[in-house]
Amino acid sequence: EEGEEGEEQDDAEEEAEARLKETSRQYIKFWKQYGKSIKLGVIEDTSNRSKLAKLLRFRTTKSTDSDDLFSLEEYVARMKPWQKQIYIIAAESLEAAEASPFLETLKAKDLEVIYMTDPIDEYAVQQLKEYDGQKLICVTKEGLSIEESDEEKKAFEDAKAATEPLCTLMKEVLGEKVEKVVVSTRLAESPCCLVTGEYGWSARMEQIMKAQALRDASMSTYMASKKTMEVNPSHPIVVSLRQKAAHDRADRTVKDLIWLMYDTALLTSGFSLEEPVTFAGRIHRLIMLGLGVGDDDEDADAGATGSAEALSDLPPLDAAEGEDASGMEEVD
């Protein structure tokens, strides 16, 4: 009899689990059709916001396919014991979110991050600031908190002390383009990234607002966050640049590379290039350097000479307009 009771209990559990899975599948279908309406409710219905938040579903770094969506409740249940924040990332697409340099350290530490790729998500997060007592924090902004071991803290402090002179130089070269340059703990594989203020627009929100046909241009001026450049002190590029800058602070190549790092960080961090023509000129000159092509190459044929002359008209790698140019002259 005990054996029969055990089998009946197992059957009941399997049946309940099957019903739960079917209910979940049905809800995902419902969510895909009406999810935007629920998000709109989170934005506008203040009295029912906490109830509607329970209905939200998102893909995360733990998702395996397009139907593998999780609730905020499931996320909180999987949080690390020391974790005090719900990590989210807003991006133009799922592919952009997955490839973001902001996830490098979080993935390495097996920390789950929620992907928010729908434009309405940015507006919803501005209203839904926390869930179940846990604050929602965008990993592309300042204020990210990641637990570190004593060894990691010691290694970071040593690297920070060695890299701070380079950070000072980078700020001098970039001028008003960035608010500050600091050593980062959020990067594992990339040399640098650009983060925004905790209470301003994210890079994704900046994209959304720029795409508005009837946008208020003055709003972009005061809502767009000042960018902070964060550098990875252990990356080979940063280490080599640090050594080169220590040898000669006014080295033109150092300034060239600082500008290229800034431009590439704009792209990888989700921003649009401010001066694409100048960026293209820097890349072309870098290609010339790699190919060993000189502006005064006497051995080149007529066609090659014409190409070199055309490239010589491009702006210098360390050239910048307005305030940036004057800032670079001071460095010189």
Which CATH number fits the domain that encloses residue 128?
Answer: 3.40.50.11260
Distance between CA 98 and CA 91 in Å, rounded?
9
Residue 117 sits in the same domain as residue 181: no
Residues in the chain: 332
> Across-strand partners of 86?
136
Residue 181 sits in the same domain as residue 298: yes
Residue 319 lies in a domain: yes
Residue 182 sits in the same domain as residue 111: no
pLDDT of residue 321: 45
Residue 114 sits in the same domain as residue 170: no
State how many domains the chain has. Answer: 2
Residue 66 sits in the same domain as residue 164: no
pLDDT of residue 11: 66
Q: What is the 3-state secondary structure (H, E, C) of the chain?
A: CHHHHHHHHHHHHHHHHHHHHHHHHHHHHHHHHHHHHHHHHHHHCHHHHHHHHCCCCECECCCCCCCCCECHHHHHHHCCCCCCEEEEEECCCHHHHHCCHHHHHHHHCCCCCEEECCHHHHHHHHHCCEECCEEEEECCECCCCCCCCHHHHHHHHHHHHHHHHHHHHHHHHHHHHCCEEEECCCCCCCCEEEEECCCCCCHHHHHHHHCCCCCCHHHHHHHCCCCEEEECCCCHHHHHHHHHHHHCCCCHHHHHHHHHHHHHHHHHCCCCCCCHHHHHHHHHHHHHHHHCCCCCCCCCCHHHHHHHHHHHCCCCCCCCCCHHHHHHHHHC
pLDDT of residue 309: 46
Residue 88 sits in the same domain as residue 226: no
Query: Of the residues 90, 117, 138, which one is the last residue of a structural domain?
Result: 138
Residue 63 lies in a domain: yes
Query: Of the residues 103, 118, 138, which one is the last residue of a structural domain?
Result: 138
Residue 325 lies in a domain: yes
Residue 158 sits in the same domain as residue 120: no
Query: Of the residues 112, 138, 164, which one is the last residue of a structural domain?
Result: 138
CA dihedral 215, 39, 207, 94 (to 10 degrees): -160
pLDDT of residue 242: 93
Residue 321 sits in the same domain as residue 193: yes
pLDDT of residue 202: 86
Residue 37 lies in a domain: yes
Could you list the residue range(s) of the whole structural domain that residue 104 is in?
A: 21-138
pLDDT of residue 180: 94
pLDDT of residue 59: 95
Residue 10 lies in a domain: no
Residue 154 lies in a domain: yes
pLDDT of residue 10: 63
Residue 45 sits in the same domain as residue 182: no
Which CATH number fits the domain that encloses residue 302?
Answer: 1.20.120.790
Residue 277 sits in the same domain as residue 134: no
Residue 130 sits in the same domain as residue 279: no
> Mean pLDDT by 10-residue block, N- to C-terminus, for the chain (332 residues)?
58 71 86 94 94 95 90 94 92 92 93 94 91 92 85 89 94 94 92 89 82 67 77 94 91 89 93 88 87 62 44 48 44 41
Residue 182 sits in the same domain as residue 304: yes
Residue 119 lies in a domain: yes
Residue 178 lies in a domain: yes
pLDDT of residue 308: 45
pLDDT of residue 15: 74
